[in-house]
Amino acid sequence: MGDEAALDRVSTDFGGMIRRRPEAVLVPSAAADIAAVLRDGTPVTARGRGHSTHGKSLVDSGVVVDMAGLGAVHRVVPGYAVVDGGASWRTVVEATLPHGLTPPVVPDFLDLSVGGTLSLGGTSHVDNLLELEVVTGTGSVVTCAPGSDLFRAVLGGLGQCGIITRATIALVPAPEVVRRLNVRYPDTVALNAAQQELVLSGQCDYVEGLILQDDGWSQILEAFGDKDFTVSGNTVLTTPLLRVPDNRGQGIFP
């Protein structure tokens, strides 16, 4: 693909500070398509969902691989899912929840690509990987598992050690109801104390602290869990935020 509109679309990234214009855009239908381009020796970079910054997904006079072409979920069974590297986490969750399953960890923003997230090496995501399919710099399509040199290299390799084209991700039972806590604190000392209390108690699956500027400064605690939980002696009972759909794939959100 080499039309002007397609080239313009991949000449900038989410940061908007750098511009590099490729010669062509490849929308692959299989890992073999990417391998063929790499074997030609053409400069190549992979682009997931376009959320990279500082030019990581840009290339001058080369080929941008639009990984959205590989965006499918191939298999969902108890214990794991097989998904394309260009699939978004939203696509993954929408495929697994009808089966009552979910990845143990997903990013806060679900519209990131699986391959892009793994290429940044988030520890929580890496710990739940069972297998990867990777196109190496020499144009070989290789399947690798935890413990191999290639597996370790591509996770956090920013696409420089290989392009992740498929991933086998561990799945766990999804809770029927997720509860959300959102509380403002008067200062960072109180916020940090509440965060520490929740983390050490193990009551929640996710805890985050935010400091936002509005009329002044707001210190906000956000936490998610599948059971009632307490902080500073108060039981938190919140409304359901997310429900698992039935097997027809409906009702993902209340």
pTM, to two decimals: 0.77
Q: What is the dihedral of CA 206, 241, 84, 80, to 10 degrees?
A: 70
Q: What percent of the chain has pLDDT over 70?
A: 79
More confident residue, 159 or 201: 201
What does the pLDDT average to over 112-136?
83
- pLDDT tens sequence across 223-248: 888 777 777 644 444 444 444 444 43
What CATH number labels 4-67?
A: 3.30.43.10
Q: How far is the C-alpha of 74 from the C-alpha of 168, rounded, in Å?
A: 10
pLDDT reported for residue 240:
46
Q: How far is the C-alpha of 177 from the C-alpha of 253, rounded, in Å?
A: 10
> Annotated catalytic sites, by residue?
51, 108, 208
CB atoms within 10 A of CB 155: 20
Name the segment(s) of the chain with CATH classification 3.30.465.10. 69-173
Domain 177-243 -> CATH class? alpha beta
- pLDDT tens sequence across 11-50: 667 677 767 767 788 888 999 999 998 888 788 878 877 6
Name the segment(s) of the chain with CATH classification 3.30.1370. 177-243
pLDDT exceeds cutoff 80 at 60: no
pLDDT reported for residue 83:
96
Name the segment(s) of the chain with CATH classification 3.30.43.10. 4-67
Buried b (16+ CB within 10 A) or exposed e, 66-76: bbbbbbebeeb
Nearest alpha carbon to residue 178 among 68, 102, 69, 91? 102
Q: How far is the C-alpha of 219 from the C-alpha of 182, rounded, in Å?
A: 10
Helix (H, G, I), strand (E, B) or coil at 78: coil
pLDDT reported for residue 217:
82
pLDDT reported for residue 84:
95
pLDDT exceeds cutoff 60 at 77: yes
The confidence band for 61, taking pLDDT boundaries of 50, 70 and 90, is: confident
What is the architecture, at CATH level 2, of domain 69-173? Answer: 2-Layer Sandwich (3.30)
